[in-house]
Structure 1
Amino acid sequence: MRILGDLLSPSYWSVRTRVTAAATLIVTLLLIVGVTLFYQALRGTVYRGLHDRGTLVVTDLATLVRETDLRGSIRVEDPGYPLLQVLDGQGNVLAASESLHGRGPLKVPVSPVAGRPEYHTLRFQGLADFYFVTERVDTRFGTRMVYAGAPITTFTRYRPVFISLLIVTVLVAASVVGWIVSLSVRRALRPVRVMSAEMAEITGGADRRVTVPEPNDEVSELADSVNVMLNRLEDVLARQRAFVADVSHELRSPLTGLRTQLEAALEQPEDEDWPAVARAALADADRLQAIVSDMLLLAKLGAGVHVARERVDLGELVRAEVSRRPRRVPVEVAADEGVTARVTEAHLVRLLTNLLDNAERHAESRIWVSVSADGPEAVLEVRDDGAGIAPEDRERIFWRFHRLAEGRERDRGGTGLGLTISRDIARAHGGTLVAADSDQGARFVLRIPREGA
């Protein structure tokens, strides 16, 4: 019973079945309402015609009764109303049409108020339904009650057939609508089935994409969204593979050096300068720790980990960081007042420190740092008077572990991740970091959204 209940529950139906069932149900209800209104309108039309004609017949008969003391036979003027009868105040038959000769008085209610017709539908002598119009008439001959009756056998005789036809029409129309809706939904969902099959065939290493159907509608938008998601997943996988490869490569060198030093020292321990071995091992350990810390920060930035942000005056931050420790060359600061942004202060300090350290390695005699506002953006520039960066290398320097020959000569202990981390920090704040053109030396330009712009 539970399985049957699950099958009957709409939550277990397919989208096609649910849409078809809902559309068919709605159309069926609308057809039932429409057929009911149509039947009532038809019935109202029939009875309205009987009402109007019966009123005329009774009015003519009442006029005749007022003018003459009508007795005997009554001539039928309207063939649709063959039953005519006149009774006196005691209920005795005074006159009747040919159809009612020899029959007793009609048992149809009459209004107690003269001149007010009444309308009734009843089965006459158990044979058929008749529509009667009655009226009480006050004459100089006394009170008279006039009756006019019309058979409605045609309407009542074919009413069951007519109702059956209407029911069949509703069922057939609902079935046709359900069939059309089912086919339409199946056709509309065909691209979704194709996408589902294509996605099932996509593996972690595949670069396939789902087919974008025509025309440009919601399904094609879904396909575009799926392809965007697959592009992002591929980018994440590429980042993950690059991360693993970079970590493996960069950690191998200091670990190998550390192991080699220790193994060499252990071969002749009595002749080894152990303080020097310890210092070399500590240097390698420091480089390992720096690489691991930088890689963890890159992983957090790439994963979009949410970090609290606060309002920071960039000019004050630059002046504080520049004055925090002396550097090999002087650093000049030109910062406009009131240039603020909502940032993670620790991350922005790391970005500025990386740029200052990079400038210090390459500068000949001076470093310049500026902070300004440019429309809705806050702009921070770090410039040195060194050899500069060749145009073809201005993007490569932001690659992970990529170091130019001059940089390796000037600083052999670096990780090669400083500029990569700096650009990721800029992107995490909705900004950009580029190596821009400069008349002399290297010029790095950071742009991030300015608060209140």
Structure 2
Amino acid sequence: MVTRAISHRTTGGRRFRWTMYRPQSLRARYTMAATALSFLVLTGAGASLDMVIRHKLETDACAETRRVAGRWSTALRNGDVPHTIPVFNQVKLVQVVDSRDRVIESSKPAAGLPPLSAVRPPPDNPIQKLTECGPGGCSLLAAIRTSREADSTFVYAALPAPSILTKHRLELLIAAAALPLLAAIARLTWALLGRSLCPVTLSRAKMSEITPNDLSLRLPQPPGRNEISQLVGTANEVLDRMETAVQHHRRFASDASHELRTPMAGMRLQLESALLDPENVNAHDAIRSALMGVDRLQAIVDDLLVLARITGEEPAPPDAVDIDDLVRDAVERRDGGVPVHVHPSGGARVNGTCVQLMRVIENLLNNAQRHAETRVDVAIETVGGEVVVTVSDDGDGIAPRDRERVFERFTRLDSGRRRDPGGSGLGLAISREIAEAHGGTLCCEDAPLGARLVLRLRLLDQRSDPLTAA
């Protein structure tokens, strides 16, 4: 329970505080709401039932008294009314009253009683239904005027009102039947909500055990496909992604610190040697070696910044990019190295960021030229709604066991270290990140000679291409 305090200032300047208690438990709230709604429904149903029963009983009683009063009214007009009116049914109180309020004839139970009612039906409404209450209780009464003359007589037939209609007995009986039903509804609602929210309680208890240092725990998956089950499933999927991301970041931080520590340690060793033994160590060579280490550090830092932008920043608005033109531009900007032969397809357009896709092409060309012996081939084609860019070289190739490792961050095979000692080991990892960010793939496939890297991107729909539509 939570307490809300509300203050109010009166004209006298005094402050009064009162509190309103509102349950924070959903189970309690919904049980109270269901009970309140059931109370309103049962109240309406009880009131309707009370009206129906009361109307039925009163209608039957009035019909019986009216029938008896009508019978003796007819007998009175025919002069066949005895001095003591016999009783044949439940209507035991029958009186014949003249215009002077004198009881002329009556049934034996009504003998000696004053007139049953002071109401005298007028000529334009000779038959009336009445309810008369006295010290002995209430009666349902029918009054009939026997003629239109001023000195007409009146016949009254009365029946004691059913006991269930007196002293609110009918209402109390309906309430007594409705209260257990209302309690059963509240109890059932509480139990059903408890069963429904049990997975939430278990999940909350399990969630409290999860710490940043241990994200391996998962919430217990309830059966079925209701909203709570879907929520728990989504939470477990989020925990899977969080665990993967945390492990990825930890591994990345460890690899980055290791890769940065190696050139820094080399630079420190060379500079300290130059300071401690200036006679035997050439300072110019030490500075040149240190600058080479700085270049390697700068390359690693630049690639790390690229990875951070790809994974952490909002992507730039995509544009229609012609892969044929992109590859040709990347090849024309290259300065020397193994010749690159381009085999364009024509019409290979994708939706993406031109700068990032250019970075992928350049990384693939750098990797291919680094390992090629005589040539590099770049083939562009469209297959099944995809643009496929294949970069092949005639070098030593990549062993099947290393074809996934080359896309891991800071992974450098022995052949790559020999050919480019200053590489960062992030080029292919960055390329795959960019490809996946564009909804594509980058992988290493079988080749008869050398290595074969294949980039696949979704082909731009011609109907959504503004240039084609124009």
Matched, 1:398 2:439: no
Aligned to 2:374: 365
Q: Once the two structures are superposed, what CA deviation does each residue of 1:141-180 show, in whole Å capped at 9, x if it has no partner?
A: 97443332211152244x5444334334433333333333
Return the letter of the residue paired with 1:318: V
Within 2, Cα distance between the matches of 1:140 and 1:117?
15
TM-score (norm 2): 0.84
| Residues 268/211 of structure 1: CA separation in 2 closer, same or farther (3 Å cut) | closer
Within 1, Cα distance between the matches of 2:20 and 2:184?
22
Matched, 1:98 2:108: yes
Q: CA deviation at 1:105?
A: 3.8
Of all paired residues, the percent bearing the same amino acid is: 35
Within 2, Cα distance between the matches of 1:139 and 1:423?
110
Matched, 1:318 2:327: yes
Does the 8 Å contact 1:212/1:220 carry over to 2? no
Return the letter of the residue paired with 2:391: V
In the alignment, structure 2 segments of 5+ residues that lack a partner are: 7-18, 463-470
In the alignment, structure 1 segments of 5+ residues that lack a partner are: none
Q: CA deviation at 1:412?
A: 1.2
Q: CA deviation at 1:350?
A: 1.0
Match of 2:37 among 14, 23, 26: 26
> The residue matched to 2:334 in structure 1 has which SS?
coil
Does the 8 Å contact 2:144/2:154 carry over to 1? yes
Within 2, Cα distance between the matches of 1:86 and 1:366?
132
Stretch moving more, 398-407 or 368-377? 368-377
Matched, 1:64 2:71: no
Q: Once the two structures are superposed, what CA deviation does each residue of 1:317-345 show, in whole Å capped at 9, x if it has no partner?
A: 22222223344233233333333332122
Return the letter of the residue paired with 1:30: V
Within 1, Cα distance between the matches of 2:48 and 2:82?
45
Aligned length: 448
TM-score (norm 1): 0.87
Aligned to 1:414: 423
| Residues 173/189 of structure 1: CA separation in 2 closer, same or farther (3 Å cut) | same
> The residue matched to 2:396 in structure 1 has which SS?
coil
> The residue matched to 2:373 in structure 1 has which SS?
coil
Stretch moving more, 272-281 or 364-373? 272-281
| Residues 176/278 of structure 1: CA separation in 2 closer, same or farther (3 Å cut) | same
Within 1, Cα distance between the matches of 2:294 and 2:205?
50
Within 1, Cα distance between the matches of 2:382 and 2:21?
62
> The residue matched to 1:252 in structure 2 has which SS?
helix
Does the 8 Å contact 1:66/1:139 carry over to 2? no
Does the 8 Å contact 2:3/2:21 carry over to 1? no
Does the 8 Å contact 1:115/1:137 carry over to 2? no
Q: CA deviation at 1:90?
A: 5.9
Q: Once the two structures are superposed, what CA deviation does each residue of 1:105-137 show, in whole Å capped at 9, x if it has no partner?
A: 4435455354663222221x4321111223334
Aligned to 2:246: 237
Does the 8 Å contact 2:164/2:170 carry over to 1? no
> The residue matched to 2:217 in structure 1 has which SS?
coil
Return the letter of the residue paired with 1:100: A
Does the 8 Å contact 1:137/1:144 carry over to 2? yes
Q: CA deviation at 1:433?
A: 0.9
Q: CA deviation at 1:393?
A: 1.4
Match of 1:193 among 194, 201, 215: 201
Return the letter of the residue paired with 2:202: V
Does the 8 Å contact 2:130/2:141 carry over to 1? yes
Match of 1:53 among 45, 60, 64: 64
> The residue matched to 2:443 in structure 1 has which SS?
strand
Aligned to 2:365: 356
Q: CA deviation at 1:415?
A: 0.4
Return the letter of the residue paired with 2:300: I
Return the letter of the residue paired with 1:179: R
Does the 8 Å contact 1:304/1:428 carry over to 2? no
Aligned to 1:294: 303
Within 2, Cα distance between the matches of 1:452 and 1:59?
93
Aligned to 1:170: 178
Q: Which has the higher helix share?
A: 1
Alignment of 1:433-452 (within 5 A): 433-452=442-461
Stretch moving more, 418-427 or 128-137? 128-137
Within 2, Cα distance between the matches of 1:412 and 1:215?
56
Does the 8 Å contact 1:66/1:140 carry over to 2? no
Matched, 1:377 2:382: no
Match of 2:129 among 108, 119, 128: 119
